[in-house]
């Protein structure tokens, strides 16, 4: 009878097994599904199950974590083959996935399957069992060989600040629920040595360490440091740059407890570690820890949650902590550990500001490439055989091509953005949708053959430096030059070997690299972020410039004091004045005062609802309907919904984008609204034909 309660399952029906699978987004199914099994497998067990017409990978889920009752047994389908050669995923892993799915408003199966190695989906239980047998045999042989001749490892003596930080870490290890520790250390102060000794401490107790880095290009050098310090220990990486087979092998070693130390990017926060004893988040302020597609999770925040849930210490390291972490340290929720001296007593670079407003402008309104005093500093370093770094956070030759006769510019036909001129490839490329065309011989609108580049990217900067610094060996490192396999490592090796005199690069060269020979850093054209609409733009700029300056003077024995030049049109701006003093505390206090007055994070909590459609009116109508649905909910009291607005790039690949900001004074109030509101949004989509997709972003980085 319609509306009748399903009959309670009997023994004849089989046993209900809840399984997390990746269900289609349009299905509206977000939780685990019920299957029929002849026995109840432990939560975390991997198995194959039918879904529609497909056979898919699933994870047995704890029924206590499932909100709904089992459906009518008549609707159950038979569970398939079980991966019984593999131990179940730890209960702590399932709890982490369950929390992340609820907090970031994603399906449990969607998130669980997204963070598993893709290669697992292709395997049957018998095939995985064979791989595991070979893997265990190979690992046993490798460990036996490593144990035969372990080299003596020389460890530097910790400084006073490092020793104090390590003592605080050891004290935290004895606590049932240790506070996260914010390791606030200036660039070159030896944060990595603290990580190494903390890892050594937990390894001695038979535990595993998880170390997160913001970007793939930082993984190899850190992996080498850990491997050198811990010979005979299994140190491995987890990131998207691995081949599918490598990623599966490393993931299996982590789950089996064979990996002692796992280093990785944001995805590694979900590494299944049965003996976890330490989590390190290096450069914790970095925006790369926030996933920007699919389940938009923050690996840093999940690391803190995981540490609390599993009772293990979490160490967040940065020279420029995020304002959220800084405020939590001020509130006493985090323990702050300061490293305020560079290793060896070396000085921080002297920051000098050059006012570009005093120089005459070139044709086209641009200032000169390098101010005379900055150019003199570069030449002096060259004469002394020292290296310099020039930081320009814009790749390509020029941001746009322009026709002076008719005003044509190289816009992207599919996006509300310019196509960037890449001279070496003779292409115009959109960095948003990837649309690429050859550079036209003449203006497409009026036929004028004199079309010229406007602005400057790293490719043009490299070209223009050559005549200014004759004889200098100029290298460039950005996403274009590091694209090929092994190119990043090769170019970094050239810098470390002293084969480059002047390194030109984007932000990828400013983070974490230990360039021992660089004594001068020059930052070009950083002003655009000062007046951006995104309230986090000044914070990101300050961190980026502090990190860039920190590449200079890392060798305390160098004879020449390190220096940083910033070419700016606004030298009196408070951000630059704090930068001159290396005063993160003053900058943070100023920014936090502004945010407190404006009711912005960390003093409020945000979510962004994004809508995409080929017609902007369809996206707007859907968002307005979503807002009306939210306001009708009783839990909407105290939650502010702002009118829909376009993001900075409002059209990408022919799709119009709008977003609506949701703000609440408390996190529980925002989560209560989202939990009731998000399930309604899929049904709302069905009533607005033409909506391409929608997404909710909890704790967005940019608005």
Coil, strand or helix: which one is 138?
helix
Spacing of C-alpha 57 from chain mean position: 27
| Strand ranges for 93-221 from DSSP E | 181-185, 208-212
At which residue do the structure tokens 């390509």 appear?
Answer: 396
Residue 419 · residue 429 · CB < 8 Å: yes
Q: Spell out the residues 6+ positions from residue 702 whose beta carbon is closer than 8 angstroms to its own.
A: 534, 536
Q: Is 446 annotated as a binding residue?
A: yes
Q: What residues does 650 pair with on adjacent strands? A: none
Spacing of C-alpha 376 from chain mean position: 37
Q: Is 94 annotated as a binding residue?
A: no
| Strand ranges for 330-449 from DSSP E | 335-339, 350-355, 387-391, 400-403, 420-422, 427-429, 436-438
Q: Is the peptide bond before 602 cis (omega within 30 degrees of 0)?
A: yes
Distance CA 329, CA 340 (A): 17
With 0-12 CB in 10 A as exposed, 13-18 as middle and 19+ as buried, what is 467?
exposed
Taking each helix axis from N to C end, the angle separating 667-686 and 616-631, rounded to the nearest 10 degrees, works out to 130
Distance CA 659, CA 650 (A): 10
Distance CA 352, CA 375 (A): 13
Residue 659 · residue 66 · CB < 8 Å: no
Q: What residues does 691 pair with on adjacent strands? A: 613
User: What is the secondary structure of 32-80 as a DSSP string?
Assistant: -EEEEESS-PPTT-EEEEEETTEEEEEEE--GGG--SPP--GGG-EE--
Q: Is 173 annotated as a binding residue?
A: no
Q: Is 403 annotated as a binding residue?
A: yes
Q: How far is CA 372 from CA 337, 366, 377, in A?
A: 41, 15, 9
Q: Is 406 annotated as a binding residue?
A: yes
Reported for 536-545, long-range contacts at CB under 8 A and 24+ positions apart, including other chains, are 536/701, 536/702, 538/575, 538/591, 539/285, 539/322, 539/323, 539/591, 540/287, 541/575, 542/320, 542/575, 542/578, 542/579, 542/584, 542/587, 543/285, 543/286, 543/318, 543/320, 544/393, 544/507, 544/510, 545/579
Distance CA 50, CA 77 (A): 7
Radius of gyration of the chain (CA): 27
- Pinpoint the alpha helices (H) of 605-666: 616-631
Binding-site residues for Zn(2+): 403, 406, 412, 415, 430, 433, 443, 446
Binding-site residues: 403, 406, 412, 415, 430, 433, 443, 446
């Amino acid at each position: 009878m319609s509306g009748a309660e399903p009959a309670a399952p009997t023994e004849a029906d089989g046993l209900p097994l809840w399984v997390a699978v990746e269900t289609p987004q349009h299905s509206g199914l977000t939780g685990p599904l019920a299957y029929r099994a002849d026995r109840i497998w432990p939560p975390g067990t991997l198995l194959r199950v039918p879904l529609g017409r497909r056979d898919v990978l699933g994870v047995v889920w704890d029924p206590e974590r499932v909100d709904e009752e089992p459906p009518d047994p008549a609707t159950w389908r038979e569970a398939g083959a079980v991966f019984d050669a593999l131990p179940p995923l730890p209960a702590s892993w399932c709890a982490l996935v369950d929390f992340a799915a609820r907090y970031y408003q994603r399906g449990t199966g969607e998130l669980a399957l997204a963070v598993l190695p893709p290669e697992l989906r292709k395997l049957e239980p018998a095939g995985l069992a064979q791989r595991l047998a070979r893997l265990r045999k190979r690992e046993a042989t490798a460990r036996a060989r490593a144990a035969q001749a372990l080299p003596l490892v020389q460890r530097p003596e910790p400084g006073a600040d490092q020793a104090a930080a390590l003592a605080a870490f050891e004290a935290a290890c004895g606590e049932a629920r240790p506070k996260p520790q914010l390791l606030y250390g200036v660039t070159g102060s030896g944060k990595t040595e603290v990580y190494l000794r903390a890892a050594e401490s937990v390894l001695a107790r038979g535990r595993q360490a998880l170390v997160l880095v913001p970007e793939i290009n930082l993984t190899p050098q850190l992996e080498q440091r850990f491997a050198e310090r811990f010979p005979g220990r299994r140190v491995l990486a987890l990131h998207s740059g691995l081949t599918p087979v490598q990623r599966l092998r490393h993931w299996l070693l982590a789950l089996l407890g064979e990996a002692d130390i796992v280093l990785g990017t944001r995805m590694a926060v979900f590494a299944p570690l049965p003996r976890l004893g330490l989590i390190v988040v290096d450069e914790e302020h970095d925006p790369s820890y926030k996933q920007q597609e699919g389940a938009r999770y923050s690996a840093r925040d999940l690391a803190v949650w995981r540490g609390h849930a599993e009772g293990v210490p979490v160490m967040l390291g940065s020279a420029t902590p995020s304002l959220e972490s800084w405020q939590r340290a001020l509130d006493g929720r985090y323990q702050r550990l300061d490293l305020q001296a560079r290793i060896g007593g070396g000085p921080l670079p002297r920051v000098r500001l050059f006012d570009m407003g005093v120089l005459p402008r070139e044709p086209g309104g641009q200032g000169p490439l390098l101010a005379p005093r900055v150019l003199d500093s570069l030449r002096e370093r060259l004469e002394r055989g020292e290296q310099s770094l020039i930081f320009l956070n814009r790749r390509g030759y020029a941001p746009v091509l322009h026709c002076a006769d008719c005003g044509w510019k190289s816009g992207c036909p599919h996006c509300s953005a310019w196509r960037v001129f890449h001279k070496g490839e003779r292409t115009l490329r959109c960095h948003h949708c990837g649309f690429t065309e050859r550079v036209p011989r003449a203006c497409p609108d009026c036929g004028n053959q004199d079309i010229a580049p406007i602005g400057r990217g790293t490719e043009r900067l490299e070209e223009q430096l050559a005549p200014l610094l004759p004889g200098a060996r100029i290298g460039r490192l950005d996403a274009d030059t590091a694209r090929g396999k092994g190119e990043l490592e090769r170019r970094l090796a050239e810098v470390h070997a002293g084969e480059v005199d002047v390194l030109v690069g984007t932000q990828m060269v400013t983070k974490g690299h230990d360039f021992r020979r660089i004594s001068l850093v020059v930052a070009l054209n950083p002003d655009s972020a000062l007046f951006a609409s995104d309230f986090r733009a000044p914070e990101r700029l300050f961190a980026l410039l502090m990190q860039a300056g920190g590449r200079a003077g890392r060798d305390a024995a160098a004879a020449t004091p390190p220096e940083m030049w910033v070419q700016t049109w606004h030298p009196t701006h408070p951000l630059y004045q704090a930068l001159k003093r290396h005063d993160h505390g003053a900058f943070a206090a100023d920014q936090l005062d502004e945010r407190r007055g404006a009711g912005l994070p960390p003093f409020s909590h945000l979510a962004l609802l994004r809508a995409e459609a080929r017609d902007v009116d369809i996206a707007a109508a859907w968002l307005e309907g979503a807002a009306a649905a939210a306001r009708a909910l009783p839990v909407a009291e105290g939650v502010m919904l702002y009118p829909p607005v376009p993001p900075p790039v409002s059209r990408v690949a022919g799709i119009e984008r709008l977003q609506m900001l949701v703000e609440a004074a408390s996190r529980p109030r925002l989560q209560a609204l989202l939990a009731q509101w998000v399930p309604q949004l899929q049904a709302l989509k069905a009533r607005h034909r033409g909506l391409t997709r929608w997404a909710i972003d909890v704790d967005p980085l940019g608005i």
